[in-house]
Amino acid sequence: MNLTPVGVWGTGMYVPERVLTNADLEKMVETNDEWIVTRTGIQERRLASPEEASSDLAFRAAEEALRNAGITAEQLDLIIVATITPDMAFPSTACILQDKLGAKRAAAFDLSAACSGFIYGLANATNSIATGMYKHVLVVGAECLSKITDYTDRNTCILFGDGAGAVVLGPVPEGRGFRSFELGADGSGGPLLRSSGGGSRHPVSQEVLDSGSQYIYMAGNEVFKFAVKIMGSAAEEALRKAELDKHDIDLLVPHQANLRIIRSSLERLELSEDKCMVNLNKYGNMSAASIPVALAEANREGRLKEGDTVLLVGFGGGLTWGASVLVW
């Protein structure tokens, strides 16, 4: 079977207006700017308004991606939204987005793989276009993590922000587009990073609310060790599948969780910092939105040139990981 090459037609991003700085957090919990920056590299993050939900952020990012791609919402065949903060249990955020956009021809579904969700979404979208099932697919990573963050927990509240990033995928010329994907999961590590309250295991109740289990819990040191290991190995495996090596990378777009993790990946891949897109200082960890926002910002800044080899890599709750090699 001849597979169609698939690449990025357009990118888009949106972050809310409200800024939460480290100085603001100093007034809320026992922490300080120097401690946060030294350990994470984060200086500020964006928070959605009480009226904003993930579909609202996704809509703004999707509009820009469609404009950038030069197509209309009516031309979309499929919408995939990667999120762990859906507007509601159902209908899916993707269906809500489909209606907001007026993408009447598009099928739509949500995908849950935490911070790896966007790369999982790219893999699904690429396969559907490569096989001829669809032509235009919108993939969005959208999160309102502020809605599930405990702002009395100094270990987690310093990390997370809200935002959305989107890409339109479609057929591209031979030699361009996605060259490989590496996806993985280790469910035994699920308890290390979770939000356990509110699902079918622990339905919403006063007891759940009193316990705070609806908020993000993270075993920071264990997740850090996992991330340092898996970011490098997933990246190397994606490069191997693409029949490339680390010296072929023109731009690394990693999950924006922690600057020390990113620097560890750069060292393993023997890359200089000017070959890496970093924006977590401005936005913090936006889970599934982190990589697409970074990709869209790199595109806005002119850091992506035709023929560039781009490596996307991330990790997240589940535990999950994903990496992809893309020729721009």
Q: pLDDT tens digits, the chain, 328 residues: what are they?
A: 789 999 999 999 999 999 999 999 999 999 999 999 999 999 999 999 999 999 999 999 999 999 999 999 999 999 999 999 999 999 999 999 999 999 999 999 999 999 999 999 999 999 999 999 999 999 999 999 999 999 999 999 999 999 999 999 999 999 999 999 999 999 999 999 999 999 999 999 999 999 999 999 999 899 999 999 999 999 999 999 999 999 999 999 999 999 999 999 999 999 999 999 999 999 999 999 999 999 999 999 999 999 999 999 999 999 999 999 999 9
Q: How far apart are CA 227 and CA 221, in angstroms?
A: 10
Break the chain into its structural domains and give their ranges.
6-175, 178-327
Residue 92 in tokens: 């899916």
Residue 221 in tokens: 């040191």
CATH class of 178-327: alpha beta
Q: How far apart are CA 139 and CA 215, in angstroms?
A: 26
Residues acting as catalytic residues? 115, 255, 285
Q: Which residues pair with 140 in a beta bridge?
A: 81, 166
Question: CA dist 110 to 19, 242, 307, Å?
Answer: 27, 28, 31
Give the number of other CB atoms < 10 A from CB of residue 240: 13
Name the residue among 101, 118, 124 with its Cα closest to residue 166: 118
DSSP characters for 22-91?
A: HHHHHTTSS--HHHHHHHH---EEEE--TT--HHHHHHHHHHHHHHHHT--GGG-SEEEEE-SS-SSSSS
Residue type (1 letter), 124: N
pTM assigned to the model = 0.97
Q: Is the domain defined by 6-175 classed in CATH 3.40.47.10?
A: yes
Strand extents, DSSP E, 172-294: 177-185, 193-194, 217-218, 251-254
Whether 6-175 shares its CATH topology with 178-327 is answered yes
Q: How far apart are CA 162 and CA 169, in angstroms?
A: 24
